[in-house]
Amino acid sequence: MKEKQQNILIIGAGLCGSLLALRLAQRGYNVSIYEKRPDLRKVDISAGRSINLAFSDRGNKAMKLVGIEHKVKTLCIPMHGRMIHDVHGNTFQSNYSGRANEYINSISRGALNSLLLDEAEKHKNVNIYFNKKCKSVDFEKTTALFKDHHTKDEFVEDADVIIATDGAGSVMRKSYYLAKKFLFSFSQNYLTHGYKELSILPKENSDYKIHKNALHIWPRKSFMLIALPNLDGSFTVTLFLSYNEGEYNFNNLTSEARVLEFFQKEFPDALAVMPNLLDDFFSNPTSPSGTIKCSPWHYKGNTLLMGDAAHAIVPFYGQGMNASFEDVVEFDAILNKYKGNWETVFSEYEKTRKKDTDAIADLAIDNFHEMKDHVANPIFQEKRKIEMALEKEFPNDYSSKYSLVTFNENIGYHEAMLQGRAQDKAILNMLSDGEISLSDDMKSILKKVKTETTTILENNRIAGLQ
């Protein structure tokens, strides 16, 4: 069966869907994408609802696959580490890696999505339809019901295969669940914290008001503020705060005076560069953040969930987009092996991929606690200094958990999680017990860390924790 004879229907023209369409078009498939929103290249639809994205090696691997790495690079601002702000306005930078060539990038969701749509549309075998909302999917017949936003008409589209990349609120996933035609497992767990997008505007000369090449964090134990740079000199700022717990929460920040009081007390240096704070705070929505896991992702050889539709995660490892892009890379590799047999392709893809998407979901929750609290803890800071020194002195022999997850795109998230957690435990245990310190010989520390990590991994294996 030739690939070009197949008609693929993709639900959702976001980052994952547009990349998938581009890659499938390159492979010769006929691709139709249906998107419920307007064309983001013509209408601004993101204000207050889009956390800035951290683009790293796993995502870049996908850009290399479709041949647009050089175009994406022009949209990126390198961030070499976390710039930590204490409550008095003092700062220090904690680099992401001891290797100079390892850093993450701030990138505009809209600009990247637009680029992917433009590249997909260059192919004559791609058609993109906007303002077409999917109402349901008949996964047995491989058809989808849509409603046109303007005419209000409903219509049915069919295809050889339907792939849903329609995000955390996936309609096809809902159709799986409601139809009760097969055993479908689904979990959705929200954080007690919501988020609100704010901004730091550029100086009058379009320069940056705070250090450009870092991800800024104001960690405050139970809540935090973060800021990522944009190409126009501004920063996208996001407040993560409980809905109803603590002295200040989203439910009681209802007046301008109280919001100013909160920022003056907790983020005075941020407030000093945010004269637009109140406008942003009361104009932009407060949105929830959560984790979605489900299985199976597919129904026979007819339909497949991909990206956030299959595995939505909280944003604190900066891997949501990268994981969805990696989905396309992994899917493409499976297609190379089993093209023509969709049921096998879907089954093998999920078997290969799910353990890794479950792992990054768990790691993202871990990093939420790390960012709002642990980064300000002295023993954590000492651990990071040791890890940076090890990576700098032994670049081929040691990678921290963060580096394994973010910069080692050739190992899966699951493997990175197991190795990284064991290393973290080893270093923290030895620091607590006084067995290692920053003043020790680094070669000696490396040997101890490797030995202790191996022991922890073996104990976990015996206990069935891997």
What are the tens digits of pLDDT across the range 383-398?
999 999 999 999 999 9
DSSP strand pairing (154-158 vs 161-164): unpaired
Q: Number of folded domains in the chain?
A: 3
Task: Output the CA–CA distances (angstroms, integers) from residue 299 to 46, 75, 200, 304, in the order listed.
Answer: 32, 37, 46, 7
Q: Which of 38-42, 213-217, 277-281, 336-340 has the lowest mean pLDDT?
A: 336-340
Question: CA–CA separation, 274 vs 268, rounded Å?
Answer: 10
Cβ atoms of 456 and 425 closer than 8 Å = yes
Residue (of 420, 419, 414, 423) closest to 402 by Cα position: 420
Asked if the structure places residue 116 within a domain, the reply is yes
Q: Write down the pLDDT at residue 51.
A: 62
SS in 3 state form for 429-450?
A: HHHHCCCCCCCCCHHHHHHHHH
Asked if the structure places residue 98 within a domain, the reply is no
Asked whether residue 265 falls in the same domain as residue 390, the answer is: no
Q: Write down the pLDDT at residue 49.
A: 53
Asked whether residue 268 falls in the same domain as residue 200, the answer is: yes
Q: Which helix (H) or strand (E) holds 196?
A: strand 185-200
Asked whether residue 307 falls in the same domain as residue 247, the answer is: no
Instruction: Give percent of the chain with pLDDT exceeding 70.
Output: 97
Q: Write down the pLDDT at residue 366.
A: 87
- Per-residue pLDDT tens over the stretch 430-443: 999 999 999 999 99
Place of tokens 């299959």: 310
Residue 1 has pLDDT above 70, yes or no: no
Question: CA–CA separation, 77 vs 231, rounded Å?
Answer: 7
Residue numbers of the domain that contains 314 = 7-77+103-188+290-367
The answer to whether the Cα torsion of 79, 223, 401, 393 is positive or negative is: positive
Whether the upstream peptide bond of residue 296 has omega within 30° of 0, thus cis, is yes
Question: CA–CA separation, 352 vs 412, rounded Å?
Answer: 10
Asked whether residue 351 falls in the same domain as residue 329, the answer is: yes
Asked whether residue 294 falls in the same domain as residue 393, the answer is: no
DSSP strand pairing (30-34 vs 7-11): parallel
Tokens of 159: 């295809």
Q: What is the mean pLDDT of the chain?
A: 94
Domain boundary among 367, 392, 424: 367
Asked whether residue 296 falls in the same domain as residue 359, the answer is: yes
- Per-residue pLDDT tens over the stretch 291-350: 999 999 999 999 999 999 999 999 889 899 999 999 999 999 999 999 879 999 999 999
User: Using the 8-state DSSP alphabet, how is residue 459 labeled?
Assistant: H
- Per-residue pLDDT tens over the stretch 150-191: 999 999 999 999 999 999 999 999 999 999 999 999 999 999
Question: CA–CA separation, 188 vs 312, rounded Å?
Answer: 9
Asked whether residue 141 falls in the same domain as residue 284, the answer is: no
The answer to whether the Cα torsion of 31, 146, 169, 311 is positive or negative is: negative
Asked if the structure places residue 87 within a domain, the reply is no
Domain boundary among 254, 272, 288: 288
Q: Write down the pLDDT at residue 69.
A: 98
Q: Report residue 275's pLDDT band, with 50, 70 and 90 as the boundaries.
A: very high
Q: Write down the pLDDT at residue 50.
A: 60
Asked if the structure places residue 434 within a domain, the reply is yes
Residue 429 has pLDDT above 60, yes or no: yes
Question: CA–CA separation, 316 vs 222, rounded Å?
Answer: 14
- Per-residue pLDDT tens over the stretch 370-380: 777 676 788 88
For the chain, how many residues are written? 466
Residue (of 132, 235, 139, 134) closest to 178 by Cα position: 139
Question: CA–CA separation, 395 vs 215, rounded Å?
Answer: 23
Asked if the structure places residue 92 within a domain, the reply is no
Domain boundary among 316, 345, 367: 367
Q: Write down the pLDDT at residue 369.
A: 81
Q: Write down the pLDDT at residue 361.
A: 96
Q: Write down the pLDDT at residue 2.
A: 43
Asked whether residue 223 falls in the same domain as residue 299, the answer is: no
Q: What are phi and psi of 229, to 5 degrees?
A: -75, 150
Asked whether residue 334 falls in the same domain as residue 259, the answer is: no
Q: Write down the pLDDT at residue 465.
A: 73
Asked whether residue 315 falls in the same domain as residue 177, the answer is: yes
Task: Output the CA–CA distances (angstroms, integers) from residue 152 to 131, 133, 221, in the order listed.
Answer: 10, 10, 48
Instruction: Work out the widest C-alpha separation in the chain, in whole angstroms.
Output: 72
Cβ atoms of 250 and 262 closer than 8 Å = no
Three-state DSSP at 139 gives coil
Asked whether residue 304 falls in the same domain as residue 248, the answer is: no
Instruction: Give percent of the chain with pLDDT exceeding 90.
Output: 90
Q: C-alpha angle with apex 53: 254 to 305, nearest 5 degrees?
A: 100
- Per-residue pLDDT tens over the stretch 13-54: 999 999 999 999 999 999 999 999 999 999 876 554 566 799
